[in-house]
Amino acid sequence: MPRLEFSQRVQRLPRYPAAGGYALPDDVALLASNESPYGPLPQVVEAAQRVLGGANRYPDPSNARLRRALADRTGVRSTRIAIGNGSCDVLLACGEALLEPGAELVYAWPSFSVYPHVAAASGATAITVPLDAAHRHDLEAMAREVTVATRMVIVCNPNNPTSTALPADEIAAFVADLPRHVVVVLDEAYIEFNILDDPDTTLDLLERHANVVILRTFSKIYGLAGLRVGYGLCGGEEMVQALDQVRQPFFCNVAAQAAAVEALRHQDAVADRVEQAVVARVEVESALAGLGIEPAESQANFVWFDLPDPAMEPDVVVGLRDRGVLVRAGTALGREGALRVTFGTPSENARFLDALRAVL
């Protein structure tokens, strides 16, 4: 058999450590991917279904309705909004638009497992900065890594996989001190779950800094992970144009666009889901405390904690899986001996806690 000759780029690219479980029976508690345990609202499902009859036509490549709805919701001008096939699509496009060999990308670690891909895809150099002792971004240390070669800095707030958040004023001070040629990508996939600040506080940064991109998604609080739609709110139009240049024209399908527009109309449901997640957070954290486990301070829809002994990790993950609970092992996410567990429904959370008690 002849061997295929893949590009240097492909040889550099890491494989995304996807969670398992997609082919498991229905009664498994899927607490491995930080999705919403609740399906989309019936009105959102109907909106997606209504447009399927017109699926012989390409979707609107300008995503005009969705951008207008987001402009109404956020106050950011629609010309400064980039839609994506999930916010990861916008993130990867930022990398393509900004990075190349010789350029540098700075991000914290452990953080989102897609970030190593951003650097590898472009041949840029990734500079990773360890989190502080409380599993939070160390912004001072990150600022020290910025050089003339830096094109992009990513701040994941709240951070995946550690669930921690920084106050918005610390982020604002960090952004204000950066050279203006450096694009700051603020990945706010979990911002709605953060109760430290109003979730929209950071939008002010866009008024002052043309080099800021705020990434948000319909995959988490809105419960639309399966439809793939996210967006970037940009400090300037230049960035939106560059993001469109590097991508195929029809990146966001008709059902995703329609569902997202409808989902934005139901902010009361968003508030309910935030409340459910906060209740789950308090319950799971106090049950973990009862087991002598002290998780990182979560401002997200998941918890992150070290097991009593790092060597237990594989057995604990398998033990939980045998009891019908899927979680993420820390080793795949940058810290051996840790677990990341998404909050599910109250009964799924109880099942996780029972299983963990049994396994430990």
Ligand X SMILES: *Cc1c(COP(=O)(O)O)cnc(C)c1O
Residues that bind ligand X (CB under 6 A): 34, 86-88, 112, 156, 160, 187, 189, 217, 219-220, 225, 230
d(Cα 4, Cα 6) in Å, to the nearest integer?
A: 6
Omega within 30 of 0 (cis) for the link into 161: yes
CA distances from 322 to 44, 138, 348 (A): 35, 37, 15
Q: How far is the CB of 69 from ligand X (least distance, A)?
A: 17
d(Cα 85, Cα 291) in Å, to the nearest integer?
A: 40
Q: How far is the CB of 111 from ligand X (least distance, A)?
A: 7
CB-nearer residue toward ligand X: 80 or 228: 228
Question: Any idea which residue has 């998404």 for tokens?
Answer: 342
Residue nearest to ligand X (CB): 86
CB-nearer residue toward ligand X: 76 or 156: 156
With 0-12 CB in 10 A as exposed, 13-18 as middle and 19+ as buried, what is 45?
middle
Q: How far is the CB of 175 from ligand X (least distance, A)?
A: 18
Q: How far is the CB of 71 from ligand X (least distance, A)?
A: 19
CB-nearer residue toward ligand X: 247 or 355: 247
Q: How far is the CB of 164 from ligand X (least distance, A)?
A: 12
CB-nearer residue toward ligand X: 129 or 355: 129
Residue 108, beta-bridge partner list: 129
CB-nearer residue toward ligand X: 162 or 355: 162
CB-nearer residue toward ligand X: 254 or 355: 254
Q: How far is the CB of 165 from ligand X (least distance, A)?
A: 12
CB-nearer residue toward ligand X: 118 or 355: 118
Q: How far is the CB of 112 from ligand X (least distance, A)?
A: 4
CB-nearer residue toward ligand X: 187 or 262: 187
Show the tokens assigned to 88: 């990861």
Amino acid at 107: Y
Local structure of 326: helix, strand or coil: strand
Closest to 164 in 3D by CA, of 18, 335, 38, 360: 335
| Angle (nearest 5°) at CA 80 between 76 and 214 | 75
Q: Are strands 150-156 and 212-217 parallel, antiparallel or unpaired?
A: unpaired
CA distances from 212 to 91, 182, 190 (A): 12, 9, 18
DSSP string for 38-67: SPPPHHHHHHHHHHHTTTTSPP-TT-HHHH
Q: How far is the CB of 346 from ligand X (least distance, A)?
A: 22
Q: How far is the CB of 168 from ligand X (least distance, A)?
A: 17
Closest to 328 in 3D by CA, of 346, 312, 314, 309: 314
Give Cα 141 to chain centroid, integer Å: 22
CB-nearer residue toward ligand X: 280 or 355: 280
Q: Are strands 212-217 and 183-187 parallel, antiparallel or unpaired?
A: parallel
Q: How far is the CB of 159 from ligand X (least distance, A)?
A: 8
CB-nearer residue toward ligand X: 165 or 189: 189
